[in-house]
Amino acid sequence: MSDPLRTLRPWESPEVTSWGRLPMNALDRRAGALSLDGDWRFQLLPSPDAPVHADWSSQPVPGAWTVQDTDDLPQYTNFAMPWAEFPPASPADNPTGVYEREVDVPAEWAGRRIVLQVGAAGSVLLVHVDGRPVGVSKDSHLAAEFDLSAVVRPGGRAVLRLTVVKWSDASHLEDQDQWWHAGVTRPVLLYATDPLRLADVTVRTGSDGTLRVDCQVRDAAGALPAGWYVTGELDGLLLTQDAEFERFKEEDGRVSDFLGEARLRTVVTGVRPWTAETPVLHPLTVRLHRADGSVADTSHHRVGFREVEIRGRDLLVNGERVYIRGVNRHDFHPLTGRTVSYEDMRADLVTLKRFGFNAIRTAHYPNDPSLLDLADELGFYVVDEADIEAHDHAHEIADDPRYLGAFVDRVSRMVLRDKNHPCVIVWSLGNESDHGANHDAAAGWVRRHDPTRPLQYEGAAKLDWAGATIASDIACPMYAPLEDCVAHALSGRQTKPLIQCEYSHAMGNSNGTLAEHWAAIESTPGLQGGFIWEFWDHGILQRVSDGRPAGRGGAGLYGHGVTAPGHRWAYGGDFGEAVHDGAFVADGVVFPDRTPKPVMFEHREIAAPVRLTFSEGELRVSNHQHFRGLDWLAAEWRLSLADGGTRVAPAELPAVAAGGSAVVPMPFPLPAEGGEAWLTLRVTTAGEEAWAPRGTEVCLPQVRLRAAVPTTPAGLPGPPVEVDEDGLLVHPLLTAAPVLSLWRTPTDNDELGGMAARWRAWGLDAPRREVLDVRRRNAGVTVVSAYATLAGAVRHEQVFTRVEGGIRIEETAELPEGLTDVPRVGSVFETVPGLDLLEWYGQGPWESYPDRSAGAPVDHHALAVDDLFTPYLRPQESGGRHGVRRFTLSAPDATGLAVTLDEPRQVSVTRYRAEDLAAAAHHDELVARPGCVVRLDAAHRGLGTASCGPDTSPRHLVRPGTHRWSWTLRPL
């Protein structure tokens, strides 16, 4: 006898979005449910047409079989589908996982309605019980529910089978920039309800305390029994059914005998509104009663009183224009793929909160429902995005009527699931799927069902940010040049908020000009923020020995962005796949183990709730929040002097409201001597926050009180500085003399933006050096060299002069006009082994670069040399410190060398030469050198985000012409 689900062949029929699947709702049935998570029998078939055999293995649920030691390994593509078939076709080789287990149905569920919930499975799910077909579901990122009442017996045992087909017509709608996985990736549970039940609950609130709760009621028998009613309770306040609403429904004649509706309505006085800064939640319990007053069903919710609206070109929360300091987030874990625990999700959001983020775009599908619970609790604005991305075939699918039902289904089910979460302030129709009738149909459904939130879709607004469209209330471009955004806001044509859905690409050493973006946003009405791409580096922990994912219980995660020995972070191509997009999946603000990248400190300072300004002797503290005062914060002052002196004192933050400022007294008298002086306010949490314990650092705003006074070390008579026959400095602490450097190991931005290819074509990676002249004088030596490039020779002059205690090196590099844009101009040298500690005065302690340095305060810093390096997944230029005035490199016995620079410069100290980094695809391939490779740059090119987005700004390019710098080298 044929299986009707296989006869239906849903994996090749876009018109079939479900069969037997229950409608989506906003009810949380997790309490009291029977968890079916754990080990299931499992077999992986080559296609959905292959017969199930007797050879079973075991796999944990939830989980993706692609990271569970099967032969079907992960594959990463950005937008190209991993197979050549056009929509709606899928490949004949189609891995199909069959999961099976026995389920003991509780005897006490007799007479109740029994429902199976599969949290997520992709891309097609087929459900059988005891061999009987139950239903089909598509959409890899939303739960599917099935009524099992007719196929299971309370007190009995049933065999539950979940068949998951990896590829289908639906895969063309899930062509997102992430790893391709397959399996049952979210929890599975079984629950029971009374036959008379709540079918759905819709909660709507206002910041003034207004509350409306709309309830839908159904009965398993079909016709509703007479006399049922609904009550509610909010913080002890009893809510009763709205009689006026019931009379309206009766007079209107639309009350059905199988679907009942009831409304609870009240105004809560003295309510504290919900915002991302003040995420106040109120417990709401809704009860469905039988005619005799007994409770048939209960639903629990957490209510946040808030409203969202667009007024003119501003997005308002509770009437206030808010900045969207957002990040895009996938459900991801380096060991389990798309399966993420509650604890992991909480850790994600805690990390984001501590670094100043207040918004999340669920890229590019509805995230695990627990994430929204946590966003409600911890305080995040959420753009909830439907599971629609047809990137490779966007134009064809957007208007394809065969996919119309899938578009509306995916958008509507997301809205039905998530509509009661106060954190959700915007609905998104998906990502990078062109714009067609299917989008407009889905938009129309949302506008009718939920008029309380705006709608956005980048594809509908990308050609005309001011144009009217049913599909987007927000101009939400991706990677728009900053100057274009500012020009639009100043043009007089702007009609809607401009909030970029993606605006700074965090691939490798990146996110240059982030501070420039926010300076423009905060000073230009009409610009309101955006979402960085993205939160995670999607590196999968991989065993180097056999190339497979390490899996849970493998090597573990070391922290600091590195892996255990014998393992590495895998990216596209590392699992032997022929079609892939390489390291483009490693584009997050945290490493795969959730270690923050240096850009996180940049963002934290840009988003700081407290700012400092100092002008004409006046010190001012400002509150840059939207709703909250400063009473939740504590602080201390730190005065840092160039001569090494520091002073610390408690700070009393002024009582200023959000958006306000106050002049505060100077905490210290400024010493008459001491040169450069900086004042830092270290701001911490004053008490326990949901996302941080007391004393957690929040920001480090800083102002300069006094500038440096330039000094020039005096030359001394005596023997000349020693150079060899090639004009290279001879020094007992150096194993390689300082030479001109015009090259950096290309960053991902350099490679994908095309700059690295141009630099290689010029020969900057290995220019041939020719000594033109060596002139010896009493106190020193002048060496003139030429470095050959295909764009012309670079003339380089070094003047070595003996000074008190050391050598002064004055350098000049003349770049020809053909070198229109180079990565750096500076010096590089190598030290003897054993110098393992770097101490410096300048910006730090974390990595910083010319266009990403706002988050690195000037102070006295110290780090082990091995900790200076930043292990971006693909080795590249990293570990630099901007604005360094002087530094020492020392051994444990305090011997070593000291360098003083003529002005603040870009400095890096690593164990690797540029060619070492360029030759390695992963960090397990790197071999550290015993000494230090030191680079001192007169000019260093900005990082930009050109791997996907704008390059650095023109002022951070290194241009042709004459570059001068000088530095002094002394032994300690």
**φ, ψ dihedrals at 692, nearest 5°:** -165, 135
Task: Answer yes or no: is pLDDT of 451 > 90.
Answer: yes
∠ CA(111), CA(112), CA(117), 5° rounding? 150
pLDDT score of 749:
98
Higher pLDDT, 805 or 858: 858
pLDDT score of 801:
95
Both tokens of 380, joined, read 């995040």
* Residue range 479-513, pLDDT digits in tens: 999 999 999 999 999 999 999 999 999 999 999 99
Burial of 718 (0-12, 13-18, 19+ CB in 10 A): exposed
Question: Which amino acids are annotated catalytic?
Answer: 432, 502
Instruction: Report the alpha-carbon distance of residue 806 to residue 899 in Å, rounded.
Output: 10
**φ, ψ dihedrals at 254, nearest 5°:** -105, 15
Instruction: Report the alpha-carbon distance of residue 247 to residue 389 in Å, rounded.
Output: 44
Task: Answer yes or no: is pLDDT of 643 > 70.
Answer: yes
Neighbours of 287 (CB within 10 A): 18
pLDDT band at 256 (very low <50, low <70, confident <90, very high): low
Whole-number percent of the chain with pLDDT over 70: 98
Find the helix or strand (DSSP H, E) in which 296 lies: strand 295-303
Taking residues 393-416, report their average pLDDT: 97
* DSSP 8-state code for residue 110: T
Taking residues 647-660, report their average pLDDT: 97
582: left (phi over 0), alpha (psi -120 to 50) or beta: left
pLDDT score of 692:
98
Task: Answer yes or no: is pLDDT of 2 > 80.
Answer: no
Q: State the amino acid at position 557 in one-letter form.
A: L
What b-and-e string marks burial along 220-255, b requiring 16 or more CB atoms within 10 Å of the CB? Answer: eeeebeeebbbbbebeeeebebbeebbeebeeeeee
* Residue range 765-780, pLDDT digits in tens: 999 999 999 998 877 8
pLDDT band at 6 (very low <50, low <70, confident <90, very high): confident
Side by side, the strands of the sheet bearing 210-219 are: 196-205, 210-219, 259-267
- Within 324-454, where are the H helices? 342-354, 369-378, 394-398, 404-418, 437-449
Averaged pLDDT of the chain: 95
Side by side, the strands of the sheet bearing 295-303 are: 237-240, 229-234, 282-289, 295-303
Lowest mean pLDDT among 103-107, 436-440, 520-524, 563-567: 563-567
Task: Answer yes or no: is pLDDT of 553 > 90.
Answer: no
pLDDT band at 259 (very low <50, low <70, confident <90, very high): confident
pLDDT score of 712:
72
Both tokens of 410, joined, read 């995916």
pLDDT band at 715 (very low <50, low <70, confident <90, very high): low
Instruction: Report the alpha-carbon distance of residue 420 to residue 416 in Å, rounded.
Output: 9
pLDDT score of 671:
86
pLDDT score of 782:
96
Taking residues 569-583, report their average pLDDT: 96
Taking residues 103-114, report their average pLDDT: 97
Task: Answer yes or no: is pLDDT of 76 > 70.
Answer: yes
